[in-house]
Amino acid sequence: MSTSFRLLVLDGTGAVSDRRLDAASEDDARKKASAEGYDVLRCDRDQPVAGFGVFARFTHRSVDAISFAQDLSTLLAAGITIKESVGTLARRAGTSRHAQVLRELQASISHGLRLSQAMEVSGAFSPLLIATVAASEQTGDVPIGLSRFARHQQNLRALRDKVLGACAYPALLLVFGSIVLMVLLGLVVPRFAQVLDVSNRRLPELSKLLMAWGRFAADTPAATPVMIALVLGSLGFIAVILASQRHRHWLLERVPGVKTVSSEFQLLQAYRAAAILTSRGIPIHRALEYTFDHLGPRPRAQLKRGLASIREGTAISTALGGSGFADEMVASMLGVAERTGALPEMLDRIGDLYERTLQRNVDIASRLVEPVLMIVFGALIGGVVLLMYLPIFDLASSVT
């Protein structure tokens, strides 16, 4: 039984193209392509995905960019060639999928492609890393470029982990608090409503409403499952929204406290990426174009307006400040960099500024959100329990 394969191949003229072949196995597909005179750079089962261009037809793969950059930088700094360094990393990775990517990377380099070209062909590396390597190849200091990329990305990862860690406890509190409320409203309250008759008793309206819900849930078997399904469906809907980058940006920009933290983190990523690329000799307007994927709709639109002004000859500080992408403090710092010529260093300082601000806001938000959630869920759960026991207290007082 034959299977369809997509192959990324190098023809006799050195051009990269993709071909589709039916073969019994991946090895068979590679042999067929080699028999036709092609050098196979990559071979995957045919799984069409949404996208454009030659490389969009292949399934998405990725490697740990930080580890790859650190290890490769170390080997290159020791005097080992790029081909030998990549081969060493592939052998060290063993039989994992990461090793397969590295072996394909080594094969592409063996066929004459530069490291940046081979990384782009593999489809497993971020555009920022590829651009950093490509610019470093022009200046001849690839190890330094890789080391700088790894250092900046490691700082970003540590900060992102801190933000996620600060969100973990509130998220757990939200989930378990919701579960406790569902158990009370779906199981405990209906049992109480069946046992107690409160129709002729003078109780607070909220307690009567709670008991009315309990009787309805007890008389309607589908009420509790429907309530649970609605709650779980809402949580699932939120999870689906957060899984999409576009929807995630849309949601985060509408939550007051989270909006500020999200915006600062996006700007931090953008200025850090621009610092890496400008230090490798890439012009500022091209460097900032690589940051579009890190930005939400609003800052992306602001940056596009600023870049359009830069291309028209406007100063960087004036263009980015006028578009709203840079605030007054950042615009002033960029103005100083224009006069001194130390743009990469100033972009790093701007990144440091956003990092310190983000850390302060995360600390403040975590100190506020956790107590507020505890108070809210404590009041809700305690209120349900109190309203549920009021009929018992009333019954006991009447008996006495």
Edge-to-edge strands of the sheet including 39-45?
16-23, 3-10, 39-45
Instruction: State the average pLDDT over residues 135-160.
Output: 88
Q: How far apart are CA 156 and CA 191, in angstroms?
A: 52
Return the structure tokens found at 290.
Answer: 């690589």
Q: Are 157 and 77 in contact (CB under 8 A)?
A: no
Matching residue, tokens 């995957």: 44
Q: What is the dihedral of CA 343, 346, 348, 354, to 10 degrees?
A: -130
> Beta-carbon neighbour count of residue 51 at 10 Å?
11
- For β-strands 16-23 and 3-10, DSSP reports them as antiparallel
Q: Which residues make Cβ contacts (< 8 Å) with residue 22, sequence separation at least 6?
A: 2, 3, 4, 5
Instruction: State the average pLDDT over residues 391-395.
Output: 71
For the stretch 305-350, pLDDT in tens is 999 999 998 999 999 999 999 999 999 999 999 999 899 999 999 9
Domains of the chain by residue range: 3-45, 65-154
16 has which bridge partners? 10
Q: How far apart are CA 2 and CA 22, in angstroms?
A: 6
Instruction: State the average pLDDT over residues 48-76.
Output: 66
311 closest CA partner among 345, 281, 288, 344? 288
Sign of CA dihedral 312, 315, 317, 322: negative
For the stretch 117-143, pLDDT in tens is 888 888 888 888 988 898 888 888 899
Round the average pLDDT of the chain to a whole number and report it.
81
Greater confidence (145 vs 11) lies with: 145
Architecture of the domain spanning 65-154: Up-down Bundle (1.20)
Q: How far apart are CA 373 and CA 5, in angstroms?
A: 52
* 246 alpha carbon, distance to own chain's centre: 11
